[in-house]
Structure 1
């Protein structure tokens, strides 16, 4: 159906699409041709989908005193580590080791979806997402994004919303 968030059955089930379907969340499925040489997977997705980069969000894992957590920020911005630490109630976080991120989420770096991870992690969504009716996040592998409302993303990930991008 439409990019406005209605589920389209493409047969490309991932843990993310399965989780959203189970939750009854409306979402769109947006496959695109992934170039392994792309400098930025997120900016590649935005260009391939003809969507402004600020509307496409990347999923980044951080590690703090209580273990791993997730920060979701626009692909054209960076994660503010101090801000995400504060949003999580921690003094400090660092970027997680990519291998640890893959083990924890069940996804490959560059295709980590904030939805349907193997283990539910504390999650913070950048407040800029609330400026859109629909946002795009990884659907669970490189070359696949899903669109959904920011409110549904918060529900599906049990995220808090805070200013964590810079």
Structure 2
């Protein structure tokens, strides 16, 4: 497989001096975290998806969620003080993040926006999240992610 790309996300991790691993896999359109977990041989629960959402005013936000869980948008809205929250259309998400959907990382976003993370992510020893390119994940300790991101922990996972 080819060499891992240099992305805004990996530059931020390097600048912060954090230890992380690079994982390339064959990207499948609409394959999601099930494909990346299978390709990397890790539990889908440890693969963290970066979802770009917006509130009722169209203000963008990020929510980080376990790959095998869905987000309760109603609960997320309640916890962040919004009337409603919904996923952005892919083209809008691309514009906000500066990444293509399927390659969105919470690190190195084009536009500053609030980042919220499912609190149970921080119970894991290691997580895998998008490194800023389709077919490319980075593995790191959740506490290290919290060191480089100003994020808010929330409890919004549907089981």
TM-score, normalised by the number of residues in structure 2: 0.90
Query: Does structure 1 residue 123 correspond to structure 2 residue 151?
Result: no
Q: Deviations over 1:110-136 (max 9, x none)?
A: 110111111221011111211211111
Calculate the aligned-residue CA RMSD, in Å: 1.5
User: Structure 2 vs 1, CA of residues 34 and 11 (structure 1 numbering), >3 Å: closer, same or farther?
Assistant: closer
Q: Where in structure 2 are there 5+ consecutive unaligned residues?
A: none
- Show the counterpart of 2:26: 33
Distance 1:19 1:25 in 2: 9
Deviation at 1:11, TM superposition (A): 5.4
- Show the counterpart of 1:163: 155
Query: Does structure 1 residue 20 correspond to structure 2 residue 17?
Result: no
User: Which residue, 118, 132, 135 being the options, matches 1:143?
Assistant: 135
SS class of match (2:60): strand
- Dislocated runs of 4+, deviation >3 Å: none
Deviation at 1:157, TM superposition (A): 2.2
Distance 1:121 1:152 in 2: 19
User: Which residue, 59, 71, 86 being the options, matches 1:94?
Assistant: 86
Distance 1:47 1:120 in 2: 32
- Show the counterpart of 1:132: 124
Deviation at 1:66, TM superposition (A): 6.5
Query: Does structure 1 residue 110 correspond to structure 2 residue 132?
Result: no
Between Structure 1 and Structure 2, which shows a larger proportion of strand residues?
A: 2
Distance 1:56 1:128 in 2: 13
Distance 2:5 2:112 in 1: 22
SS class of match (1:107): coil
- Show the counterpart of 1:54: 45
**Partners of 1:88 and 1:122 within 8 A in 2:** no
Q: Deviations over 1:25-77 (max 9, x none)?
A: 221111112233xx432111111111101110101111113600001101111
TM-score, normalised by the number of residues in structure 1: 0.87
Aligned residues: 155
Distance 1:152 1:66 in 2: 30
User: Structure 2 vs 1, CA of residues 143 and 11 (structure 1 numbering), >3 Å: closer, same or farther?
Assistant: closer
